[in-house]
Structure 1
Amino acid sequence: MLLIIVGTALAWLFGLQSPDAIIASLSDAGFNPPQFHIDSFIEGLPHALPYLASAVPLGLANYVFDLENIESADAACDSYPTRKIMMVNGCASMLGAFMGNPFPVTVYVGHAAYKEMGASIGYTLFNGVIMFFVCLLGLGALLLSLIPGAAIAPILVYIGIVTANQVVRETPKLEVPAIFVCLFPWIGYWALSLFKNTLATAGTNAQEVGIEALAAKGIYYQGMVGLGNGAPLASLLWGCMVVFAINNTPLRAVVAALVAAGLALVGFIHANGVGFAQPESMMFVYSYLMMATLFGVKHFYNLKESASEPVSQPQPITPATKATEAV
């Protein structure tokens, strides 16, 4: 709260906020009670079908985020029933869709950070009540005109630092490399988003500029597309394969690699959109299949090695042995 107050005061002091924005935001204020829009929902279904290509991967990513945040809370010694949380999120998202809300519900990140700040269930309840009244009265634009985004950013940075610290602290030492492997798809996603937004600001795109021209300047656009698209799912699967390899459980790594190959085959990861056996996706499919084969070979090698090890025979129990065990 202190960060928001100081940041807001500095923004107004240095003229970064405009009083005109407050006046303009008041036009959105008013009583806006939630209403059911089932007819609009049904009418909009045909128009929504083309967007399933992005909605389905986003839904899967949202599912992963929920699990990650539940696990984060559990690592902070606060266990919650996963099934109930996922059911509430799903039902709330469906109810919101019938009431005109296009945004799915998810478990918000930062449980460990809020706990370190001394927050408890009352903090979450207070936030929910405040956000309900802000939306009910149409005050969202007013708050954004009063409080600059730069004043809120330090809170998100703090949450990220605490969460990253928790991940490294709670992860077994041998499995720490998996954390950094999981970061690679996210770095690609960040670079891809930044590059696309830059080109869009200039009124162009990568195809118009030319993939080869970009590569000549050291910008490998296709690499960013392959690495960044589907980052939530790709990072999870990469981390699984690394952990399974470290713990010498190659059969599980085979399953993870095959799942990754299946997702790449339908364009959920490493592709610009959903589509079956897209040319740009097939090299990832083949790569995952080769990895699955490699892990499969390691699994059979482990079996062969275990079979060749001599089996120790149990020693016969004699009166002398019993006496020794008793001592």
Structure 2
Amino acid sequence: MTDRVKIPLFKKADLDASIGVFFDGFSKVIVAVAILLGTFGLDGGTVFGTMMPGVLVSVIVMNGGLWLYYRQVAKSRGDRNLTAVPAGLQAGRMFIWLFSIMLPVYNTTGDAVLAFRVGVLAHFIGGAVFIIGAFVVPLILKIVPAGALFGSLAGGAMAFLILQSMDGTLKMPLVGWLSLIVLFVIYLGKVNTKLPAALIAIVVGAGIAWATGAMSFSTVTDSLQNLGFYIPNFTFSIFSGEVLSAVIPFLPIVIVFSLNEVITGIQAVEQARECGDTFFTTTKPLVLCGVASMVGALFGSPLAVGLYWGYPGWKKMGSGTGYHLGIVALYALVGLTGLSAIITAFIPEAVVLPILVFVGISSYSQAFEVVSKKYYPAVIMASLPVVMDFMMDNVAEGKLQGFLAFDPGSAFVGLLVGCVFVFIIDNNWLKAAITNVVALALTGIGMIHSPGLLLTDTYSPDLGFVAVYCVLIAAFLIMHFLKFNQKSHLADLEAEKAASLEAAKQE
């Protein structure tokens, strides 16, 4: 009987899901491309001619495989409206590979191609670990205390995502800091948007960069040279002795973070179960993601893939199984043509780095969300070794120059930044504006963002932050007078109050 039910190949709601999941993943591709071209100085032929077709291969294996898998589940259950669990490029492993594996290799050797190949091999090994993890992670969680496991991961997030990315963000505050504020307003302010927050932040930041003359059309002109048709090619060079020996010291990072992403994948399926779809399994989809990583690496992709959170939203929208096919089609468009080169030419690196900062903050916060409060000290202690190692390596070599922006008056800066983000979370736009007025005044007298006070020889305020505070004052005042997002915020507060009362009754 169930075999006679016709499962739609693609329906209207699948189009929205295809675009949404694609841009969620492609925003990460934009970040990776900007870093590989900017920080590493990797050539466009490797990025757009090797990596992007390799990314497409990963997407074909994973999203195409998930389409077949969930379509079969829908047929066996006779459910033509079944929603598939989303999947795409994973931010966590992608950026850990970039900053904690590839960047150290590049800094040590000065060889961008070697660093890239090491990242690709790490992706291949990570895929194998991912497959094994699909079976053994539940056992590991019984042996290793959660506080120790997530504390170590939090340390990596703090060092390689938050601190490393903040350095670049602060070097162009008018672009980077404003992009970071946009992300926080959307995510922490709980603003409902049809487009991914990362994409919005990129568009806003890029717009500011072009308006202020930070970008040049010569970059766009140069990107046209990368247009063409690229066929995926095997990259057996990742198995050379030089690459193998270079990746060995990073195996602990590969193993730990791959296993962590397995946990994330399990949680993604749990979201579906919480929606009442208790029949979903974890092993097959996770193994498929691991296989996709390994195959993609063989074709030159260092960008990890896996299951996504967000199932409840796509189910509510009415998406089915066909949106995985739509994702493949969209990646084929940018992966085979070099079109991604033109897209990324419009976007400076300082625009995409705030996304890594936010990903790192989310990852760091997660370590405290999954353990009891009594284990917080263990989480903090477990995170310190990685952070300390990162600081010693970078400070000793005179790097992290962007941090100098927060050096003068750091205590004041910390207090002001904390206030701004508290007010963003509370949707209190007027107080956020007032806080930026205070920050502007302190900058004016040289208490922050200046090596010396007003009327002294060393007085030299950072004009980038002067501009930032002026823009934020105006923006937050406009949001206050427009009562931006107030209805949604009040609804959230009422829902939280009702949940608290319900919890109190049950106790």
TM-score class, shorter-chain normalisation, is 0.3 to 0.5
Larger Rg: 1
Task: State the TM-score, normalized to the length of structure 1.
Answer: 0.46
